[in-house]
Amino acid sequence: MKKHNFSAGPCILPQSVFQKASQAVLNFNDLDLSILEISHRSKDFVEVMETARNLALEHLGLQNSNYTALFLQGGASMQFLMTAYNLLENKAAYLNTGTWSSKAIKEAKLIGEVIEVASSAKDNFNYIPKNYTIPNHVDYFHCTSNNTIFGTQMHQFPDTSAPMVCDMSSDIFSRELDFKKFSLIYAGAQKNMGPAGTTLVVIKNDILGRVSRAIPSMLNYKTHIEKESMFNTPPVFSVYVSMLTMQWLKDKGGIKAIAKQNEKKANLLYSEIDRNPLFKGLVANKEDRSQMNATFTLESKDLESAFEDYLKEAGINGLKGHRSIGGYRASMYNALPLDSVEVLVETMQTLEKNA
């Protein structure tokens, strides 16, 4: 029986996508060839890349606009450096909400001056700072929309005249936002879009060309824009599976429809965390809770092994919290069915009844 997979990443993708992907490994588009053995310049693969790039823009409501979508390599971690390399001339403002933001700040500091506008580091990132000021005349403002490890999510974005750069790795395509507010969005595929190996980057074209340094070809967004995301051999399988997932999302009714489902899943789990006396949430302010990654723990360590036995019996996978915070983390990405959350809630209730 298939597991209820709450893994934080790489994580669950739609079952139908796994099936189509495995078929394409054996015989892609009835070519009697595997997708893994054809040229990335072939008509069939170029069409995959174009479809994937278009679907990404379509889902974000940015098609027919001055945005370009790219599928790059090096993970979201490479974007920590690339964003700074391409956009940071003098100063940039960063909001520090977790491990990933901190890593982005570290890379940017190699390139220029970083102003940390606010940080929740002192409280082990258990809330999202608010009421900070973004100084005038910064080259850009960088934030992380969803903090995968700590289970917090930005539910409001600041109004700023600076271009807004956002790491949306773990909540891309999960909720409706005004994506036009962002000048650059990046997301490693393996949280909500596809397999590891590619990163979606969506860039507003006019923010490029403002820095004076020479940029190595592979790190230069312009290279990849000019070459339509085919400057070098792209990660063909990751892009293909991401395309399938975006098509699945479109068939489901797009972000609007999936957002309702995600809200339902998150509400169900958080209500149980709040109701069940054996558990407590790990985010300080309820308003900052993530709809994608819910972090919680047992009130008493004594029940740990009993709970873990029940989880195993129920076929629940990937619930262990990140080592930097402990406890449990239920990742409820787009492809996780409501049914899996129901099973988790029942398991929490079983523990309560038998404790």
Ligand X SMILES: *Cc1c(COP(=O)(O)O)cnc(C)c1O
- Candidate list 100, 179, 182, 248; residue touching ligand X; CB under 6 A: 100
Identify the three-state secondary structure at position 33: coil
Q: Point out the catalytic residue in the list 100, 204, 248, 288.
A: 100
- Candidate list 148, 192, 245, 347; residue touching ligand X; CB under 6 A: 148
Shortest distance, position 225 Cβ to ligand X, whole Å: 21
Shortest distance, position 166 Cβ to ligand X, whole Å: 10
> Contact region for ligand X (CB under 6 A) — 120-128, 163-171, 211-219, 259-267?
163-171
Shortest distance, position 91 Cβ to ligand X, whole Å: 22
Q: Is 350 in the site for ligand X (CB under 6 A)?
A: no
Instruction: Rank residues 148 and 334 by Cβ distance to ligand X and give the closer one.
Output: 148
C-alpha dist (Å) from residue 320 to 141, 297, 298, 329, 330: 33, 10, 12, 6, 8
Say how far apart CA 227 and CA 221 lie, in whole Å: 10
- Candidate list 96, 144, 245, 334; residue touching ligand X; CB under 6 A: 144
Q: Is 192 in the site for ligand X (CB under 6 A)?
A: no
Cβ(150)–Cβ(124) below 8 Å = yes
Q: Is 340 in the site for ligand X (CB under 6 A)?
A: no
| Structure-token match 């002192």, residue found | 122
**Segment 188-191 long-range contacts (CB within 8 Å, at least 24 positions apart):** 188/9, 188/75, 188/76, 188/77, 189/238, 189/242, 190/9, 190/10, 190/11, 191/8, 191/9, 191/11, 191/148, 191/292, 191/333
Return the structure tokens found at 75: 């993970």
Shortest distance, position 177 Cβ to ligand X, whole Å: 15
Is 265 in the active site? no
Shortest distance, position 144 Cβ to ligand X, whole Å: 5
Q: Is 9 in the site for ligand X (CB under 6 A)?
A: yes
Cβ(119)–Cβ(143) below 8 Å = no
C-alpha dist (Å) from residue 293 to 101, 153, 312, 315: 16, 9, 20, 19
Measured from each CB, the residue nearest to ligand X is 75
Is 339 in the active site? no
Say how far apart CA 183 and CA 296 lie, in whole Å: 34
Residue 27 CA, chain-centre distance (Å), reads: 30
- Candidate list 96, 126, 170, 198; residue touching ligand X; CB under 6 A: 170
The contact set with ligand X (CB under 6 A) reads 9, 75-77, 100, 144, 148, 167, 169-170, 188, 191
> What amino acid positions are annotated as catalytic residues?
100, 167, 191
